[in-house]
Structure 1
Amino acid sequence: MMKIIPSIALIVVSFAGLAFTQDFPREMPAQTVPPYYAVRYEAGAAPGGLVYGVIYSIWVPPDVNTLRGVIVHQHGCGAGAGITGLTGAFDLHWQALARKYDCALLSPAYEQPSDGACPLWADPRNGSRETFIKALFDLGEKSGHPELASVPWALWGHSGGANWAGGMAFLHPERTAALWLNSGAVTVEPNPSLPSDKPYELSPAGLMIPIMCNQGVQEGISKPDGRFAHVLTRFQFLIRSLRSRGGLIGHAVDPLTEHACGNQRYLAIPWFDACLSARLPEKNGDALSPMPQDAAWLAPLLGGEAVPAAQYKGNIDQSVWLPNQKIAKAWMSYRKDTGVEDATPPPAPRNLKVVGNKLSWTAEADLESGLSYFIIERDGEFLAKVPESDELTQGRPLFQCLYNGDTPRQPLPEMSYTDQTAEAGVEHSYRITAVNTVGLQSIQ
């Protein structure tokens, strides 16, 4: 007999048999079952249509009655980046943010071949805008949440995906609650030094969007002649364009990376938390609320210290806008070493089951610091760590190891463990403890 000590999580669904290769799979993800849904669209044949196929996967919080928004996690350019988009909706950490605000979590996966041109999807004016909007309608119908077609967006994008997210924000500012641009930017006015850029129209609603520009220090700062030096150039132009008009735009430098996402999620998720808390309307159909201005902090562009806005003495046109003191302090820690602090333990695992000698459980990620690993105890003594070792991942070790595009690696890990040393006929008690990425343990 085995005695179970109840503890606490969330069901993980895997893409069975899907390998990470340069040949993009031409079928829907396997085992995409509620609360996960997916649609795929073939490349459009009509002029102006999307030239690549695309899969949109979405997670809907199981207990939500009415969705209030959708968080979009957009991958970057290339065939490999496109495949990483298949797991974005399965990310437990981003799901924690979505769950808090009754939002869906959506991840596109564009089928760009290795020799394909990125702007053919990364510029939403080339057909990806219309396809995305259609996907919201179709996924809303599939999931039983037709409001998905009209709720606000929180947009996150990396590299070419940042170009797409920024384009969508300025094309639809009235629907964009917040925008995170990771290593990619757009322009909102002609720039003689970037003549190939086609600017987006900047409206009063666009100036109300809280925006964070995020890049690695090696993208033009410590390596001014590097491959990605253009990232800094484009960010500087966009920031000056918006801050000179009162736009709410910030800039966060990762001191450890070049074009990788690194530990950005530990600042991005709290930042989205602050923005969604302030902007999402309680009633669907109502307009987004403006961001409060009385709590804002400012810092000099490429600086490391922020102060309350009223105390800032620098050039406003080249300043970093931060929504409040909490985010400003997290920003300063991130700017120093990406070590954003967190004093809250993760949720305790639940639904512990034992079948034979196999244990399984569910768990939700810590909103601030994600989910790093589990500790399994048997009869009050340490038995195992799951996963057993820290695999190669981007940034801090996570239970769901990350691709470069900040999405979980395949195959997705299961919350399970087989006790090979359990003695037949002996009653054992088990306890599962969750540990977040700053080492805090769940409280049983």
Structure 2
Amino acid sequence: MRCTRIYGVAVLLMVLQWSGVIAQTTRSLEIDPSYAVTAGRIYRTVIKNPAYKFEHANYSIFIPDGVPYIKGILIHQHGCTMEGTGAATAHDLQYQAFARKWHLAVIGPDLYPQKGSSCGDWISPEDGSGAALLDALRNFAGLTDHPELNNVPWLLWGHSGGGHWVLKMMGAYPSRIMGAFCYSAAFDPNIAYPPETGKIPVILRHAGAEDVIDCWPTATHAFLKFRALNSFASLAYTPGQTHNLSYVRYMAIPFFEAVLAQRLPEQGSSLLKDMDTTRAWLGDTLTNQVYKLTAYKKSREGMCLLPDATTAATWKEYVTTGTVADKTPPPAPVALKMYAGTADTAYLTWQVYGDVESPIKYFNVYRNKQLIGRFPESGEYQTFDLNGDNAIPVILPESRFLISTPVKKSDSFAVTAVNQFNLESSRTTINNRKK
């Protein structure tokens, strides 16, 4: 059901038709079904150009409310055969919370090969997927209040063929990229990287022998190339997992946060800052032990170079356990309201901002400090696909809880959020003031 109050979240859908230049642009405005829970706007644009090898591309972007200037963009690129799933990232509450915290936009691309073809049509930026991204950014910059989208730097995330795309982008656009995370990058691009690529911090995750056959050598080969450029490059081997199974966001997000803390340009500038080697740590891929760079006197050959102590501890946990535990409770729900139902019943509605550390699993509802139910009644509010790291579900239900027994004037109600690690937020409380 729709909320009584609409919070102004819209999707701007553009269809662009190309014949060398834009021949026609049509624009329509519709309410995004996620308006009840999204603290921002989601726009979509379609890019189609006969000069590009692939058939077309859809881009979905989340722009957080209340952010006057976007400082950077997270681009979350799906892998081969995952076309049509990229938009989920723009609807992902955890990535939205990350974006709000750092004043970022989040883009989920969907790149489609020609009919009967494969992802080989789009995994190389020089075949059009690099230019199409710039096309999309120009569209978003021109139709939102954020012209800076044309110039701000990127965080790149890619799975499988999308990881290949990220590696190629690091060679093609090194001055635009703050950091990169490759989840089982496939099809070793085997390219010569310019020296500027060495400024990009990167983590290359693989699953060893359990991965797709070429992902392990792709990761190690790229790692050696990046370390030869003296870059902050790291391998993350997660044994017991596979090409299509990994809790990568639990490593990627804290890594990106460390990168943002050091590399974000000053507002109004596009010049990325260099990583601070005085804060760096080393990671030993054989023992999974970590060491402060300035205190380590042995050979550093083949060692991971990590941004700071926090990332080093997170990396150690990730390569040892396959995940990173969230140790902090999620934010409490907001805008809790109570409305009259039939007879003496009522119902509660609320909104939630995502948790940067992990997705929201469900909500607990309390009456006079006693637990009376949860929402949703079964299943999870939002989780993610361990294959493509895509939000499930994409469109979230309205947070609405029916109080089916008579409500007294003395009653008070509260709602809490519970995250994927079963940590519960503080309570958001409302007294009985039925409308």
Q: Same fold (TM over 0.5)?
A: yes
**Counterpart residue number, 1:170:** 171
Aligned to 1:190: none
1:119 deviates by 1.9
The one of 388, 405, 427 equivalent to 1:405 is 388
C-alpha distance in 2 between matches for 1:360 and 1:74: 34
Taking the TM superposition and a 5 Å limit, the aligned residue runs for 1:319-358 are: 319-355=303-339, 356=341, 357-358=346-347
Aligned to 1:7: none
* Structure 1 position 367 matched with structure 2 position 368: no
Higher mean C-alpha deviation, range 102-111 or range 309-318: 309-318
Q: What is the alpha-carbon distance in structure 2 between the residues aligned to residue 376 and residue 156 of structure 1? A: 36
Written as runs of structure 1 = structure 2, the 5 A alignment for 1:2-401 is: 31-32=31-32, 35-42=41-48, 44-46=49-51, 49-78=52-81, 81-112=82-113, 115-184=116-185, 197=189, 199=191, 201-216=192-207, 219-220=208-209, 223=210, 228-312=212-296, 315-355=299-339, 356=341, 357-390=346-379, 399-401=382-384
CA deviation vs aligned residue, 1:184-211 (integer Å, no higher than 9, x gap):
0576xxxxxxxxx461x42222101000
Contact 1:403 1:409 in 2 (8 A): no
Q: Distance in 2 between matches of 1:325 and 1:285?
A: 28
SS in 1 for 2:229: coil
The answer as to whether partners of 1:59 and 1:105 remain within 8 angstroms in 2 is: yes
Q: What secondary structure does 1:83 align onto? A: coil
Question: Which string of whole-angstrom CA distances, capped at 9 and with x for unpartnered residues, describes residues 366-395 of structure 1?
Answer: 22233222111123211222233345xxxx
Shift of 1:346: 1.4
Q: Distance in 2 between matches of 1:58 and 1:301?
A: 36
TM-score (norm 1): 0.82
Secondary structure at the aligned position of 2:388 is classed as: coil
Inter-partner Cα distance in structure 1 for 2:28 and 2:158: 22
Deviation (angstroms), 1:314: 5.8
User: For the structure 1 residues 374 and 198, does the alpha-carbon distance in structure 2 shift closer, same or farther, using more than 3 Å as the test?
Assistant: same
Compute the displacement of 1:233 (Å). Answer: 0.7
Q: Tell me, what secondary structure is at the counterpart of 1:440?
A: coil
SS at match of 2:391: coil
- Is the 1:240–1:317 contact (alpha carbons within 8 Å) kept by the matching residues of 2? no
Gaps of 5+ in 2: 1-6, 12-26, 428-435
Question: What TM-score, normalized to structure 2?
Answer: 0.83
Q: Which amino acid aligns with 1:179?
A: A
Distance 1:60 1:352, change over 3 A: same
Q: Which of the pair is proportionally richer in strand?
A: 2
- CA distance in structure 2 between the aligned counterparts of 1:380 and 1:114, rounded to whole angstroms: 58
User: Distance in 1 between the 2:383 and 2:10 partners?
Assistant: 12
Match of 2:15 in 1: none
AA at the equivalent of 1:53? H
Cα deviation digits, residues 284-304 of structure 1 (max 9, x gap) = 224100011112111223441
**CA deviation vs aligned residue, 1:167-191 (integer Å, no higher than 9, x gap):** 222211111001001110576xxxx
Aligned-residue sequence identity (percent) comes to: 30
Q: 1:186 to 1:144 in 2, by over 3 A?
A: farther
Deviation track 1:125-152 (CA, whole Å, cap 9, x = no partner) reads 1111111001001011222211101100
Q: Distance in 2 between matches of 1:11 and 1:376?
A: 27
SS in 2 for 1:139: helix
| 8 Å Cα contact 1:251-1:320 kept in structure 2 | yes
